[in-house]
Amino acid sequence: MNFSPILGLFTAVSVVITTILMSTNKPAVFIDSHAFIIVVGGTIAAALLSFSWKSLLVMLKVFFGRVLKGTLHQYQEVIAEIVSLAKGYRENSNFLSENLDNIKNPFLREAIELTIAGGLSSKDIDIVLMKRAQTHHKRYEEDSHMFSTLARFPPAFGLLGAVIGMVTLMQGLGGEDAIKTVGPSMAVALVATMYGIAISNFIFIPLGENLSKYNKTDKTIRLIVIDGVRLIRQKKHPLVVEENIKSYLIASERAAISTENDAA
């Protein structure tokens, strides 16, 4: 499980709470049900207007499946699998079919299935795999864009809450002891803005960035798989296969993989 998002959210909330406690002896002024309702309720309403129920459910699935679980196979694992398959296939032509169920990476398994199924030329297999990789990349970009879109809503509704509070404040300025209520009323109006900024910057924007990085890593891994399986079909030497697919990584990443392999 990927604890980084949870740790980040916990740290952000802790920093805000600590700052509030250090700034005032009345932290309860930062708790306002009206502000919460208009920011959270408005964001939910805007989300329902912007996306379908199915899309919102997919967003939850994305959050728990990719962000929290962190199920993405890292470079080293995929490269190790490809090199192992290349070595076995050079020694035994039935190695791929015999070890298909042992392949961990789903996209690599798909590629090997197409290879052993027959009926498609090597060029056709590459075209099919590239189209599938592009489809995944496009879908993941849409998921990332969804979080980026949602990030725009909370600050807007926070500002709306502040405007409503200011209108109420102005309306009461003509009454008795109006000057005494200006400060407290102004504070309540600004709480909505704070809620909107916090929700946007602590939740939606970081998650969108997280998914964007996930998408880039996933795209690189799929390109590694496509190139690696093509070299496997050609029965290239495992060292040739490894050096070719490691070329998708920058020098520091290649060095890190080599260091971990030496340690193992």
Residue spans of alpha helices (H) in 66-121: 75-91, 95-98, 106-117
The span from the CA of 146 to the CA of 62, in Å, is 11
Token reading at 256: 């890190």
Give the pLDDT confidence of 63-120 residue by residue, as tens digits.
Answer: 777 666 665 557 888 999 999 999 999 999 899 999 999 999 999 999 999 999 888 8
Helix, strand, coil fractions of the chain, as percent rounded to 5:
85, 0, 15
Average pLDDT, the chain: 86
User: Which parts of the chain sit beneath pLDDT 70?
Assistant: 1-2, 66-73, 174-178, 181, 184, 258-264
Residue in 200, 197, 192, 196 with CA at minimum distance from that of residue 151: 200
DSSP, residue by residue, 139-191: HHHHHHHHHHHHTTHHHHHHHHHHHHHHHHHHHTTTSTTHHHHHHHHHHHHHH
pLDDT for the residue 224? 95
Residue in 113, 111, 103, 115 with CA at minimum distance from that of residue 136: 111
pLDDT for the residue 172? 72
Percent of the chain with pLDDT over 90: 44
